[in-house]
Every structure is written in C-alpha cells, then in structure tokens.
Amino acid sequence: MSPTEVPTLGGVRFNFENSYARLPEKFYARVAPTPVPAPRLVKLNLELADKLGLDNAELASPEGVEILAGSRVAAGSEPLAMAYAGHQFGYFVRQLGDGRANLLGEVIGRDGVRYDIQLKGAGRTPFSRNGDGRAALGPVLREYIVSEAMAAFGVPTTRALAAVTTGQPVYRETALPGAVLTRVATSHLRVGSFQYFFAQGDIDGVRTLADYAIARHYPEAKQAARPYRAFLDGVIARQGQLVAQWMLLGFLHGVMNTDNTSISGETIDYGPCAFMEAYDPRTVFSSIDHQGRYAYSNQPHAMHWNLTRLAETLLPLLVAEEGSDEAGLASAHEALEKFAVHFEAARDVGMRRKLGFTQEHEDDGALVEDLLKRMAENRADFTLTFRRLCDAAAGIEGNQGVRALFADPAAFDTWEAAWRQRLAKESVSPEERAAQMRRVSPAFIPRNHIVEAALEAATEQEDFQPFEELLEVLACPYEDMPGKERYTMPARPEEYVRQTFCGT
C-alpha cells in the first residue's frame, strides 16, 4: 500500500522534520499503516506529548486517534518500515525489519532533541514475513506500563505516547483485542541495522548509517581524530551504563537480540521483560529463552556479545581509520574491552548509593557481593531488601523489616553488623543517608502479578482502572504512598508469574 492510499490530515500538527526518510531507499520500505475499523483511545501520555510540543486536544480528537491507530496519515508524515537484520538467540537472520511497526516521522521536542514517532502494531509491511503486522492489547499495555516505569526510574528508554484499540481481533493462541502503541525514541537504529548492510557486503551502507548515527546521537565523534572509533566507544559506554541500571533494578529484558540493542543506548522492545522478586541471578522469565541465554546475571555478557557484533560491522571503517587490518582489529578489541569498565563502574557506584555509602572504600565490593549471596540463599525480595535498608539506615529499629525478608533472619544479622561498621566510617546523618538511599531504591516496580492482573482486566473485562492505577503509582516510584502498600508486595504463591511472553 502506498502512503497516498491512506487519507492525509492537516489538522493535527506534528511538525515533522524527517531525516531518516532522506537516506537512500535501501534503508527502508515506504509503506503506510493499515487502517483499522474502529479506533478508540485507551491512554494518551499528556506529559510526553507536551515534551514533544504536541497538542493534547488535537491528539485526543477523533482525527488524532485515527492517526494514532494508523487509519490516517498526518501532514508531513512519511511513513516507512525500517530495514535491519539481527542475531536472535545467537542465530543470525539476514533480514528482519519492521514487520509490524511504522515510522511516521521525526519531531523536535521542546528540549531540542529529535524523536521518532512510531506506530507498533500498524499492519503488514514488506518485512512482515508470515506475520499479520498487528499487536494485541495485552502486550501494548505491558510495553506502556514498563517503558513509562523505566522513564520514571531514570533509565534511558523508549516511551509510550498513546495506546489505542483497533476494533478488530488479532489471532494468537486465541482471538485477542487488537491495539496499536505509539512509541517514541531518540531513534530506532539498532545493532541489527548495521548488520543488515554488513551481511550484504555493502560497506558504503554501513558507512552511511554510521555517519547518520554520529550526526544524530554522537556529534562529538565527528570532531574526533578517529570518528568511527569514537562512535563505537560511545555506543559501548552508553550500553555499559544502561545494563548496569537494569541490574540495579532487578530488571530482565528477556530478549536481548542484536535487533533489540539500540545505538542510542535506550532500552527498546519490552516483550517478555520482567522485574525479579526473590533474588536469584539465574532468573529467567521469557517463555522463549529455553537455555537461559538472557538470564538476569547473563545480561552484561549478552550485551558485550551484541556490541562485538556491532564492532564486526564497523571493522572495515576502523581499518580505514587505522591504516591496516591489524591496527583496525586492535582498535575494535580495545574498544570492546572498555565495556566491562563502563558496566562495573556504573554498577559499583549504583550499589554504593543503594547501601548508603557516599565514599568509595576498597572493601565495598565484597560487602555488596556478600549481601547478594545471602539474599539469593534466603530468597529475599530484591526491591524490598534495598528499600527497607533505607529504614534500617535511618535507625536500627528498621532492621526488623529487612530481617523478615530472609528465610533465615540470622543471615541478615551477620551482614548488618559489617554494614554498620562501614556506615560509621562516614559522617552522614542517618536521616540524610536514608533520604539519599530512597532516591535510588524504588518502593514500587511493575511487579509481574500486578501487571498481569491489570492486563487481564483490560483485555477480558475492558476494565482499564487497574492499568490506570498502576501507572499512577509507577509515575513516582521512589515515593512512599500510604494506602498503596499492596503494590509493593511480592506475589503470593498462587499469584506468581513464572513466564512472560513476546506477544508477536
């Protein structure tokens, strides 16, 4: 379907300023979203719309909802599906691409940053293969919930601008209500975008994409003596810091394929993602991760592997910069070795903050690892342990709340004594320390059983109140909220969610 087959609309002003559509057409397929019969707005992100300089009333109007559903094309939009490849659970697929997503265009936000506006679930594209190009309501709402929670945590992430239902079912194991998510990102460039051209031997395509990514995300690299090495360094640094943030929150991405690894350093594609409750570094939730490739503790290794694939695609450019094959390869290896440095530095700083330390001491790492070991042995809830440590830092009477999380409370007592000795080395008041800890250890996360209950209510009863209440709580995750205690509690045995699903 060509863009001209979908009605255009000039009344809703996005003020698109598109740059990706100016690249050669081998980078995408021009295709319009597929109209739906009865679009209905479920949720509009008012705060994000304002950040993007969009008019909330226009977006919520019937015409605006039709744009968000893919039934109309806004003025200035140049809808397209992006081309990319990717390693999926270690197996390379030469062509993936946007099989159910449609990039409407780019806008410049009030902060001066360029953002993609993309519809997810907007119908078939030339990259759909055997898929229907659609999305079900449950996965759309899951991505809305978790991506907005991540934004509230301060983690770089794509965000959700809107969710709409389509008025037509999609068919997975059963018939499900269809929906479209409007996703916002600083771009949708992925490691797989580079792999797509490299696999074809199209080094000019790799170079064009690298130049575009540098201009859009790493302008400082353009001024460097070796721009492509500086670009690789930048991506590695951002991804090292990003994965550290995931680990500090007990977050599992679930499907860390190279096509789900963004060049901008944002968390992208919330499929079978989840937040761990009882701490276990081997935790896996994804129903398709049969070997535990993307288990919680494997995430840093998986990201390093993905970045190695990016370095492979950039190798011809690095060789040209360095002047020889050997020097180019050495440059790539040198860059990749820094991933662990960035990851460990960010994780160490984050863990010190979560334990109330404002200075670095050489034994801090051992104290952190000892706590995590004891948490794993005693099935202590990850989020609650660190949140209740805030109360323990404020006064010794807070110990009881942490002890109660351990199967053997004495395991905490032994560690707590060493922790108190370490705290005594810093002249910080208990109140100030506790307040600092609360700013980095959330009270609320999207607990799996609560998310699933909200999705079930929405899809089976068309009751969106649980979804709305959960979003309200997660908007301020670091604040205590009297009357909202149930959102902080782990699942009871009968509520526990053992698997999460992609939804494709």
- Dump pLDDT digits (tens) for 390-414: 999 999 999 999 999 999 999 999 9
Q: What is the mean pLDDT of residues 270-288?
A: 92
pLDDT (0 to 100) of residue 469: 98
Is 254 part of any domain? yes
372 shares a domain with 346: no
Residue 50 annotated in active site: no
Looking at the structure, tell me whether residues 348 and 369 fall in a common domain: no
Is residue 216 situated within a structural domain? no
Collapsing DSSP states into helix, strand and coil, what is residue 381?
strand
> What does the pLDDT look like over 63-98, one tens digit per residue?
999 999 999 999 999 999 999 999 999 999 999 999
C-alpha–C-alpha distance, residues 134 and 245, integer Å:
31
- 4, pLDDT greater than 60: no
Pairing state between β 73-74 and 8-9: parallel
Residue at which a domain ends, from 306, 324, 353? 353
Residues across the chain? 504
What's the pLDDT at 160? 98
pLDDT confidence bin for 1, thresholds 50/70/90: very low
Phi, then psi, of 271 in degrees rounded to 5:
-90, -100
Q: Is 165 helix (H, G, I), strand (E, B) or coil?
A: strand
pLDDT band at 347 (very low <50, low <70, confident <90, very high): very high
**Catalytic annotation, pick one of 259, 269, 289, 381:** 259
Same domain, 366 and 407: yes
Domain count, the chain: 3
In a domain, 107, yes or no: yes
Q: Residue 205 falls within a domain, yes or no?
A: no
| Banded pLDDT at 501 (limits 50, 70, 90) | confident
Kindly state whether residues 421 and 328 are assigned to the same domain. Answer: no
Could you count the other beta carbons within 10 Å of the beta carbon of residue 216? 18
Residues 177 and 288 in one domain: no
Please check whether residue 189 is in contact with residue 268, taking contact to mean a CB–CB distance below 8 angstroms. Answer: no
| pLDDT value of residue 7 | 57
Residue at a domain's end among 289, 323, 353: 353
Is the separation of the CB atoms in 75 and 120 below 8 Å?
no
Type of residue found at 435: A
Flag whether pLDDT at 242 surpasses 70.
Answer: yes
pLDDT band at 289 (very low <50, low <70, confident <90, very high): confident
Beta bridge partners of 175: 171
Q: Are residues 230 and 156 both part of a single domain?
A: no
Which of 188, 208, 231 is the last residue before a domain boundary? 188
Range of the domain at 231: 223-353
Range of weakest confidence among 101-115, 144-158, 481-495: 481-495
Query: Is residue 71 exposed (0-12), middle (13-18) or buried (19+ Cβ within 10 Å)?
Result: buried
Tokens, residue 371: 């706590």
Q: Is 203's pLDDT higher than 70?
A: yes
Q: Is the pLDDT of residue 256 over 90?
A: yes
Q: Which residue type occupies 172?
A: R
Please, what is the average pLDDT of the chain?
Answer: 95
Whether residue 202 lies inside any domain: the answer is no
Same-domain status, 389 and 434? yes
Is 32 in the same domain as 160? yes
335 and 259, same structural domain? Answer: yes
Percentage of residues of the chain with pLDDT beyond 70 = 97
Domain assignment of residue 217, yes or no: no
At 487, is the secondary structure helix, strand, or coil? helix
Whether residue 166 sits in one domain with residue 43: yes
Cβ–Cβ < 8 Å for 110, 48: no
Secondary structure (3-state) at 371: helix
pTM: 0.95
| Residue 472 included in any domain | yes
Domain-embedded: residue 230: yes
Does the structure show a pLDDT above 70 at 496?
Answer: yes
Residue 333 CA neighbour count, 13 Å, CB half: 6
Contacts of 456 (CB under 8 A, 6+ apart): none
The pair of structure tokens assigned to 181 is 């998510």
pLDDT at 3 over 70: no
Q: Rounded distance, CA 277 to CA 387, Å?
A: 13
Q: What is the pLDDT of residue 287?
A: 83
Report pLDDT digits (tens) over 120-134: 999 999 999 888 999
Centre a 10 Å sphere on the Cβ of residue 128 and count the other Cβ atoms it contains. 17
CA distance 108 to 473: 29
Residues 15 and 71 in one domain: yes
pLDDT of residue 495: 78
pLDDT at 2: 41
Residue 153, CB half-sphere, CA atoms under 13 Å: how many?
29
- Pair (329, 415) in one structural domain: no
> What mean pLDDT do residues 411-424 have?
97
Decide if 268 contacts 84 (C-beta within 8 A).
Answer: no
